[in-house]
Structure 1
Amino acid sequence: MAHVVVLGAGLGGTIMAYELRDALGREHRVSVVSKGSKYSFVPSNPWVAVGWRDRDSIEVDLAPACRKRDIALHPQGAKRLHATENRIELMDGTSLDYDYLVIATGPELAFDEIPGFGPAAHTHSVCHIDHALDAKAAFDQLVKTPGPVVIGAAQGASCYGPAYEFAFILEKALRDAKIRDKVPMTFVTSEPYIGHLGLDGVGDTKGLLESALRSKHIKWICNSKVQKFEADKVTVEEVNDDGSTKAIHEVASSYTMMLPAFRGVEAVRDIEGLTNPRGFILVDKHQQNGKFQNVFAVGVCVAIPPTGKTPVPVGVPKTGFMIESMVTATAQNIARLVRGEKPNAQGSWNAVCLADFGDGGIAFVAQPQIPPRNVNWSSQGKWVHAAKIGFEKYFLHKIKSGQAEPFYEKLALQVLGIDKLKAVKFEDV
C-alpha cells in the first residue's frame, strides 16, 4: 500500500487530493497537510475587498469532504520537508512519512522586499481572505474620506490578472458609492506594457486593457520599480527599455493595493536539488523533481522561467487551467509509479482566464500559455462577469462535494466555442 501526501490545500492541492483518490482507489492512502481545515476561494478575494462577498460565502470546511473521500486531513501545517527521509515535520512536532509527495503549497508573499509593503505596513492585499477583509475595512474608510488610489503589481510579481480585476472592481464600487469623481486612480505595474500579464500578452490584451483603463480614467505607469510605500504616497522608479531610470514618481495614495513578488514557502525552501534560488520547486515535463523522484509539484509553487527578458523582473502566472492540467498529469503519473510503470502524462499548460471587472470583463485563451501559441485569443463583455460568478459557484460546490471533475477543460471547450458563453445573460447569474 502506497501513501501519497499532498502538501497544501489550495486550488491545486485540494483537487490534487481528490484526483489522487480517484486514480489510486481505496487500497492506497491519501493525506493532505494544510494550515487549518478551511479552503478559501482566492479568486473571489477582490470581491471580498469591496464587500461583495464575505468569508462564509467563499470558504469551505474540508473535513467533511475529506472524510467522505477517505482522505486524511492534517490541519497542523508543515514546518519542514525532510526530502532525503521521505518525511514532513509538522508544526505540532509530529511527522508524516510518505512514499510519494505532491507539493502544492502556493507561494509565500514577499512583502518584506520593499519598505512599507504589506498589510502590516502601508498597503493592502487580495492574496488572502484575511488581507481582503482588512482591505474591505479600509475601503469603507475610503468611502467616508475619499482620496487618491494606487493599484497594481510590484517588481517580480507573477500574478497580474487580480491586479487588473481589483482596479476595475474598485472603480465600479466607487461609482456605486457615488464618489468616483473624488478618487484619482493610478495603475502601477512592473509589466513592460499594459496587458503583458507575464505572458507577453494574449490576443489583444494590450489594446483591450489600455482601452478599459482609459475609459475608466485610470492612469498607468509601466516598467516600474517601487522604491517604497508610505502612508500617503508610493515612490516609483520608471525605467527605460535598457533598465536606466526614466523618471521617479511620487504618486499620492490614501489607499494602495499592490500584488507582491512570490517565493517558495519556508517549509520547502533551500533544499538542494528540489528548489531554485527563489524557493520554487524544480520539475520536469511530468511534474516530477529530478533529484527526488518521488516528489512532484503543481501550481504556483512550480518553477517556470519568464517568457523573455524585460526591463523590470516579470514572472509567469500559473493560471487555473494550467494548474488543473498539472494536477491531472501528476495523478496519472503517480498511479503509474504505484503500478511499477514509468510516468508518461504531461500537463497541457494552457491558459483560460476570466478577468472580472465588476460589470464586465476580459477573457483570454492561450494554448499553450507560453508563446508561441496555437491559440492566442481574447475578448470582452458582460458575459465574462456572469461566467466568473458561475465559475465561483461551481468550483466551491466541487470542493465541498469532493468532486475531481476538471472544470477548466470544460470551460476551455466552451470558450473556444465562444458563442455559448456569450449567450449567458448578465442578469441571469
Structure 2
Amino acid sequence: MRKKIVVLGAGIGGTSAAYELREALGADAGITVVSDTPWFHFVPSNPWVAVMWRKPEDIKIHLPETFAKFGISFSSAGARRIRPAENAVDLGDGTTIGYDYLVIATGPELAFDEIEGFGPAKHSSSICHVDHATDLARKWEAFCGDPGPVVVGAVQGASCFGPAYEFALLMNTDLRKRHIRDRVPITFITSEPYIGHLGLGGVGDTKGLLESILRDRDIKWITNARVDRVEADKVVVSEIAGDGGVRKVHELPSRLNMMIPAFRGVRCLFDEDGKPIEGLANPRGFVLVDRHQQNPRYPNIYGIGVCVAIPPFESTPVPVGVPKTGYMIESMVTAVAENIREVINGREPKKEATWNAVCLADFGNDGVAFIALPQIPPRNVNWAGQGYWVHLAKIAFEKYFLRKVRKGKSEPIYERIAMRFLGVKKLRGE
C-alpha cells in the first residue's frame, strides 16, 4: 500500500525533506507538504532585505506549482493541531489530513509576547520572517533620512545569534555607504555571556574575532543582557551578574532597534488546553526526538530543524539557547528520509544526523565563517575565519539554495558551499 507522508513546514528543512523523501521513496509514497503560506522564502537573506540589498521577491518561490512539478502535494492551510494518537493533523481550513509518517519541520513560534513592548506589532523590529524584514526595510529608509541611536541584538532565551551580528554589521556597512555612520550610535545587546559565544561556547576564536570587529566598527556591546521592556524611544536592559543579580540597568536611547526573540514550539504542538502534547513536545513546545530524529512516544513522527528540542550547552547568567544551523538541518533531513525508507522496508532506522555547525555571517564588505565538528565541544574541528570571501560564499549559497528549491534537487547545499569556499573535505561522519 502506498504510504502517506505529511511534512509540516516549507522552509529550508521542510522543502529539503520533501525532495529527499521523493528521491528516497520514489512512487512508493504520497508526499504532502503543509505550510501556512504558499511561499518559500530564504530566511538567511532576510538581513539583506532589511537594509534593502534584496527585494522580498528576490528570495521567494511560489510553492504550489513548484511542488506539483515533482509530484508533491501542497496545502497552504497551515496546521492547527496534531493528533498523534490518531495519525492525523487538523488544518487551518477545517479539514483533516491523515498520515502514515509525519515530519515536523515547522520552525518556531516567535515569543515576542514574553517581553513588554517587544515585537514588530509594538516597539521593535525583526528579521526572522521576510515580512518582518520587509517592514524593517521601510523603517530603515525612513530612519536613514533622520538617523539616531540604534539597538541591535538577541534577547534572553534566544538561540539564533548569527543574524543579530549580521544585521548590526550590515547596517554599519550601509550607513558608511550613505556617509551617515557618524550620526548613528550603535549598541549591541546579547544574552550571551560573552561576545561570540553563539550558544555554542564559542567556535575557534569567535570571541576575539567578533569583539575586534565590533570595536573596529565603533559598536558598543552589553553581554549577559536581559531585556526588561522596549519603549518607543528606548530599550531598558538589565545586565546580569554571575550570581544572577542585577549588575546594572541600562536605558538605551533608540530610534530603531532589531532584536532576535526567544523561540518556542508552534501552536499545533499544543493541545486544546494550551499544554504541549504529552510525549511529543517538551514544556517549551519543541519536538522530542532521539538520535534517529524519531519521536520516542510516536515513532512514526520525526522532527527536523529549529522545532527540535536541544538542551542548552551550558548554564549561563541569562538563558541562552542552542542554534540549529542550516548544515545541521540538512543532515537531519537526510537522516529522516533514509530512516523512513528503512522503516517502510521493514528494517530498523539506523541513520543518525551529524550535528555539526557551519555558519556564514555576511557583514557586507567582510564576514565571519565558522565550522564546529561536532557542534558542542570538545570538537574535532573548531575553526573560525574572516574575509570578503564569506560575503561571496553567502551569495553563492543563496543562489544555489533557491535553485535547489526551483529544480526539486535534494543536494546538500551547505556541504557543497563548505567544500568549495572553506576547503572542507569531509563534514558528515566527523
Alignment TM class, shorter chain as reference: over 0.9
The amino acid that maps onto 1:289 is N
Partner residue in 1 for 2:67: 66
**Are the equivalent residues in 1 in contact too, given 2:393–2:417 (CA < 8 A)?**
no
Q: Which moved more, 1:68-77 or 1:98-107?
A: 68-77
Partner residue in 1 for 2:196: 195
Percent of paired sites with the same residue: 59
Partner residue in 1 for 2:326: 320
**Are the equivalent residues in 2 in contact too, given 1:325–1:349 (CA < 8 A)?**
yes
CA distance in 2, matches of 1:7, 1:410: 26
* DSSP-derived class of the 2:28 partner: coil
Partner residue in 2 for 1:272: 278
Partner residue in 2 for 1:427: none
Residues 363-402 of structure 1 show CA distances to partners (whole Å, capped at 9, x for unaligned) of 0000011111100000000000011001101110111111
* DSSP-derived class of the 1:26 partner: helix
Partner residue in 1 for 2:377: 371
Please list, as runs of the form range in 1=range in 2, the aligned pairs for 1:105-116 lying within 5 A after superposition.
105-116=106-117
CA distance in 2, matches of 1:172, 1:195: 20
Please list, as runs of the form range in 1=range in 2, the aligned pairs for 1:60-99 lying within 5 A after superposition.
60-99=61-100
CA distance in 1, matches of 2:100, 2:74: 17
Following superposition, the deviation at residue 274 of structure 1 comes to: 0.5
* DSSP-derived class of the 1:156 partner: coil
Please list, as runs of the form range in 1=range in 2, the aligned pairs for 1:386-425 lying within 5 A after superposition.
386-417=392-423
Query: Residue 97 and residue 418 in structure 1: after superposition, are their counterparts in 2 closer, same or farther (change >3 A)?
Result: closer
Q: Which moved more, 1:11-20 or 1:25-34?
A: 25-34
Partner residue in 1 for 2:132: 131
The amino acid that maps onto 2:170 is I
CA distance in 2, matches of 1:299, 1:290: 17
Please list, as runs of the form range in 1=range in 2, the aligned pairs for 1:229-268 lying within 5 A after superposition.
229-268=230-269
Partner residue in 1 for 2:314: 308
Where do 5+ consecutive residues of structure 1 fail to align?
Answer: 420-429
Residues 244-274 of structure 1 show CA distances to partners (whole Å, capped at 9, x for unaligned) of 1110000111101000000000011310000
Residues 67-99 of structure 1 show CA distances to partners (whole Å, capped at 9, x for unaligned) of 111111011111111111100001111010000
CA distance in 1, matches of 2:416, 2:59: 22
Partner residue in 1 for 2:17: 16
Partner residue in 2 for 1:25: 26
Where do 5+ consecutive residues of structure 2 fail to align?
Answer: 271-275, 426-430
Residues 45-65 of structure 1 show CA distances to partners (whole Å, capped at 9, x for unaligned) of 101011100111000011222
Following superposition, the deviation at residue 177 of structure 1 comes to: 1.4
Partner residue in 2 for 1:385: 391
Query: Residue 393 and residue 6 in structure 1: after superposition, are their counterparts in 2 closer, same or farther (change >3 A)?
Result: same
1:216 partnered with 2:222: no
CA distance in 2, matches of 1:417, 1:166: 26
* DSSP-derived class of the 2:229 partner: strand
* DSSP-derived class of the 1:173 partner: helix
Partner residue in 2 for 1:43: 44
Q: Which moved more, 1:402-411 or 1:306-315?
A: 402-411
CA distance in 2, matches of 1:370, 1:44: 26
Following superposition, the deviation at residue 415 of structure 1 comes to: 5.0
CA distance in 2, matches of 1:62, 1:339: 30
Partner residue in 1 for 2:56: 55
CA distance in 2, matches of 1:36, 1:308: 36
Partner residue in 1 for 2:428: none
**Are the equivalent residues in 2 in contact too, given 1:154–1:190 (CA < 8 A)?**
yes
CA distance in 1, matches of 2:9, 2:259: 24
The amino acid that maps onto 1:117 is F
Partner residue in 2 for 1:348: 354
Following superposition, the deviation at residue 34 of structure 1 comes to: 0.6
CA distance in 2, matches of 1:15, 1:261: 25
Partner residue in 1 for 2:161: 160
Following superposition, the deviation at residue 416 of structure 1 comes to: 5.0
The amino acid that maps onto 1:323 is I
* DSSP-derived class of the 1:25 partner: helix
* DSSP-derived class of the 2:269 partner: coil
Partner residue in 1 for 2:273: none
CA distance in 1, matches of 2:143, 2:37: 32
**Are the equivalent residues in 2 in contact too, given 1:184–1:218 (CA < 8 A)?**
yes
Partner residue in 2 for 1:337: 343
Partner residue in 1 for 2:182: 181
Query: In the alignment, which of 267, 283, 287 is matched to residue 289 of structure 2?
Result: 283
When the two chains are superposed, the root-mean-square deviation of aligned CA atoms in Å is 1.0
**Are the equivalent residues in 1 in contact too, given 2:189–2:225 (CA < 8 A)?**
yes
Following superposition, the deviation at residue 35 of structure 1 comes to: 1.0
Following superposition, the deviation at residue 418 of structure 1 comes to: 6.3
**Are the equivalent residues in 2 in contact too, given 1:61–1:400 (CA < 8 A)?**
no
Residues 120-145 of structure 1 show CA distances to partners (whole Å, capped at 9, x for unaligned) of 00000000111101101111111111
The amino acid that maps onto 1:187 is F
CA distance in 2, matches of 1:27, 1:406: 23
The amino acid that maps onto 1:37 is P
Query: In the alignment, which of 274, 293, 298 is matched to residue 299 of structure 2?
Result: 293
CA distance in 1, matches of 2:36, 2:402: 19
The amino acid that maps onto 2:242 is D
CA distance in 2, matches of 1:4, 1:61: 21
Residues 226-257 of structure 1 show CA distances to partners (whole Å, capped at 9, x for unaligned) of 00000110000001111111100001111010
Q: Which moved more, 1:138-147 or 1:104-113?
A: 138-147
CA distance in 1, matches of 2:37, 2:77: 6
Which TM-score applies when normalising by structure 1? Answer: 0.96
* DSSP-derived class of the 1:310 partner: coil
CA distance in 1, matches of 2:424, 2:10: 32
* DSSP-derived class of the 1:236 partner: strand
**Are the equivalent residues in 1 in contact too, given 2:418–2:424 (CA < 8 A)?**
no
The amino acid that maps onto 2:78 is G
CA distance in 2, matches of 1:77, 1:91: 5
